[in-house]
Amino acid sequence: MSSQSITASILRARLLVGVLALVAVPAAAELKGLSEGEMARIDGAGLGLVFENFKFSHGTDAPDANGEQARIFRISGIKSTDGRDVDITVNHLYISGAGSNYGENLSPVNLGRLTNPWEIDVVDGNTIGVPDKAVLQFSAPSQVAAAEGYDCFGASASAGTGTCSSRPATADYIGERADIGIQMNVAVGDDRSANINIHAKSAVIDGSYLRLWGDDNRRQMVGQFKLNFYSPEVSINACAQDGSSCGSRIILSNFALELALGNELQPMLFDVDGSGNFVVEIAAIRQPTSGEIGADGLRSSSNAESWDFYNSYYTNPDYRSNLSIGNFSVADRDFGSARVQGMLIQHLNIQTKDLSQ
Amino acid sequence: MTHRAGIAGFGLVVAFLATSSSPVLAELASLGDDALSDVSGQGGIYLSGDVSINEMGGPVENYHFGRCDDATRKCGARLAWRLKETGGWMVLDDIRGNFSFEGLTLRVRHVDSGFGGDGELFNRDVLELGLPNTVRFNDVHFKIAASNTARPTDPGFLQTDIFTVEMRGEVVMEGNLLVFPTGNP
C-alpha cells in the first residue's frame, strides 16, 4: 500500500511537470532570457540623459516700426542698492556646437555621452560619505582617468590627454563640447547703457554635480554642489546698445573653474527665513574641544581619531575650489596667468534682502 | 483506488489542455525570434500642443488674486515648497502665459552606431524625445520668490521676489533628448 502510494505520487508529480511544461513552452518561445552580463547592466538605478544634435537659442529682437518686438527675453524684479529697478534684457542666449563665432553661426552639438551621460540618480550615501542616506544626485558626465580622457581645453585633443570625458569636435563628429553665451543689456533705472556679452567656447562641465538629501537633526534640505567649468576661451566685451560697435574683448584663455560648495562634513543648507528671505549657508566645521588636539599639533599628543578627522578635512582636495586662467588679455595686451588654488570655504552665509521693505 | 482515480483525472486534464490549445496553434503561426527581431517599434507619438496657464487670471478672484490688469493683484499660478520643517517657503509665483509647439515626438529607438563610436559600444534601446525645433512663447511669465507663508492670504504674509522672467516669441530648441536607464548599483 505504501509503495503504491509512492508510485502514485511520483506519477502525479511527473504529470504535473508535464502539464507545467506544456503551459510554459509557448511563453518561453516568445521571451528571451537575459544573460548575466545583460542583467548586470540593467538595474534601473539611475536615468541617463543625452542630448543629441541639440541647439538652443532665444533672445530679444529690436522693436519694429510699430514698436512691437517679435521675441522678448527679460529678467526683472531685481533692485540696485540705491533702490532703482534692475532689468536684464537678454539679447541672445545660446547653446551651440563648436565654431559658432560668438553665437552667430549656430550648429548642433551632443551633450553627454551614451557611455557617460548626464544622470539623475538616487545614490547610496554610504558610498559618497553621507552615511545611511539616500542622496538625490543630478550629475554631468563624470571625469575619467587621464589615460582614457581628453584634454579639457584642447580643440583637437585625442584620447589619453586629460581627464574630461566629453570630446571636442572633429571633422566628422560634432563633439560634446558646446559654445555657450549670453548677450545682455543691463538697465539700472533709466540707464540702459550697459551691454555686456559673455561667451565661452567649447565649454565642458564634466565632473559637476548637485547632491541633495535631508538632515535629520535640522529637519532641513541640505546639499553639495560641485561645478567644474573648462573652456579654452571665455570672453567678455561691451557693445553699444544697438550692438553696432563693441569695445575691446577681454579674453580669459584656458579658463578652469572647479568650485566646491559644501561637502559631506559641511553640507550647504537651504532655508527661507521668517521675513521671506532665501538663505544659503555652509556651516562651520565643529571646533575641537579643549585638549582634543595637542598644543604642538602632532598626532601623538592628540586624540588620534579627532586628529585624523581634521587632517582629512584640511587635506582632502575634493573640498577645495580652484580657479585658473591660462592667460588674461585685453585687446593686444597680455596680463599673464592667474591662479587661485586650494580655497576651502570655512563658513558661508548668503541671504537675499528685499530693499523695498 | 483513489490514487488511480487521481491519475486518471490528471490524464484527462492533460488531454483537455492539449485539445483546447491546438486549434489556437493551428490558426496563428508563431513568429521566430529572427522574425520578431525585424519588427521594430515603428509606432511613436507625435504631439503638438498649445498650453495656456492662467491667461485670464485664474478662478480665484479676491483682494489679492485674480486680475491680470490690476497691478496690485496677483495673477497666475503659484507653487510653494518648503526646505526646512519650520522654515519659510520657496515660491514659483505668477506663472502665466501661453506656449505652443508642433512636432514633439516620442519613440523607442535602437542605438548601435554614430555618436563618435559610442553608439556601437552602447548598442541598446533608448527612449527618444524629439524636440519640436521651435517653441512659441506668448507672454510667459514666472517669478522666483521666497515667502514666510505658503499662501499670500495667510496671516503675516511677507514675500521677497528674487527675480521675474518674461519670454515671448519663438525659442529655438532643436535635437533629441535620449533617456535610458544607467547602471549604478
- The ipTM assigned to this model is 0.78
Is 60 exceeded by the pLDDT of residue A170? yes
Mean pLDDT rounded to a whole number for chain A: 84
Q: Which residue of A has its CA nearest to B6?
A: A12
Quote the crossing angle between the two packed helices B2-27 and A2-30, to the nearest 10°.
10
Cα-flanking dihedrals φ and ψ of residue B131, to 5°?
A: -70, 150
Q: With 60 as the cut, is the pLDDT of residue A173 above it?
A: yes
Q: Output the pLDDT for position B115.
A: 92
From the CA of A321, how many Å to the nearest CA of chain B? Answer: 26
DSSP conformational letter for A94? E
Residues with Cβ within 8 Å of residue B129, at least 6 apart in sequence: B104, B105, B106, B176, B177, B178, B179
- The arithmetic mean of pLDDT across residues A196-221, rounded, is 92
Which tens digit of pLDDT belongs to each residue from A108-119?
Answer: 999 999 999 999
pLDDT at residue A14, rounded to an integer: 47
* Rounded Cα distance, A177 and A192, in Å: 33
Q: Does residue A97 carry a pLDDT above 60?
A: yes
Contact assessment for residue A55 and residue A66, using Cβ atoms and an 8 Å cutoff: no
**Strand, coil or helix: A303:** coil
What CA–CA distance (Å, rounded) separates A294 from A300? 8
A260 or A245: whose pLDDT is higher? Answer: A260
Q: Which of residues 6-45 of B touch A (CB under 8 A)?
A: 6-7, 10-11, 13-14, 17-18, 21, 30, 33, 36
Q: Taking residues A172-185, what's their average pLDDT?
A: 92
Rounded mean pLDDT, A316-339 = 92
Residue of A nearest to B86 (CA): A219
**Banded pLDDT at A46 (limits 50, 70, 90):** confident
pLDDT along chain B (185 residues), means of 10: 44 42 57 71 76 73 70 78 88 87 89 91 91 89 88 84 89 93 64
Distance from CA of B159 to the nearest CA of A (A): 5
Find the largest Cα–Cα distance for chain B.
Answer: 93
Give the pLDDT confidence score for residue A45 in this predicted structure.
Answer: 66
CA gap A75, B164 in Å, rounded: 5
Q: What is the pLDDT of residues A294-311, one digit of tens each?
A: 889 899 999 999 999 999
Per the CB < 8 A criterion, the answer to whether B170 and B136 are in contact is: yes
* Model-wide pTM > 0.80: no
Taking 60 as the threshold, does the pLDDT of residue A75 lie above it?
yes
How distant is the alpha carbon of residue A157 from its chain centre?
22
Alpha-carbon separation of residue A32 from A5, A37, B34, B109, B182 (angstroms): 39, 14, 12, 19, 21
- Residues, chain A: 357
Residue ranges of A 120-159 with Cβ closer than 8 A to chain B: 121, 123
Burial of B163 (0-12, 13-18, 19+ CB in 10 A): middle
Answer whether A32's CB lies under 8 Å from B33's CB.
yes
Q: How far is A299 from chain B (nearest CA, A)?
A: 37
Which of B121, B160, B167, B171 has the highest number of chain A CBs within 10 A, making it the mutation to test binding with A? B160
